[in-house]
Amino acid sequence: MTTIKAQMPGVFYRRPAPEKPAYVDDGEEISQGQTIALIEVMKTFNEVKADESGTVAEFLVEDGDEVDVGQDIVRLGEV
C-alpha cells in the first residue's frame, strides 16, 4: 500500500476554505507535487503535496482531524 504521510503535526483540511471544493476526491488521479490538502499549524496553512503520482484510493483521516508527523493520510492506488 502506497500512502502519503503528514509532514507535520496539525489539523488536516481537504479544501482551501469551507465553501471551496476539495483539492482532490477519492478516485482522482494526482501528479507528483500536486497539492492535495492542507495542514494547519499555529494558524499557518501548509500545503500537503503528493510524493508521487497515483490514484487516490481513499483518505485515511477526516477533514478537521488532528494528524501527527508520519501519519498516513491518503492511500494511493496505481495510475
Helix locations, 1-79, DSSP H: none
Predicted confidence (pLDDT) per residue in 14-51, tens digit? 999 999 999 999 999 999 999 999 999 999 999 999 99
Over range 55-62, report the average pLDDT: 95
Output the domain CATH number for residue 16: 2.40.50.100
Number of domains in the chain: 1
Structural domain boundaries enclosing 11: 2-77
- Predicted TM-score (pTM) of the model is 0.89
Q: Residue 79: what pLDDT?
A: 55
Q: Residue 19: what pLDDT?
A: 94
Residues 6+ apart with CB under 8 A from 60: 3, 72, 73, 74, 75
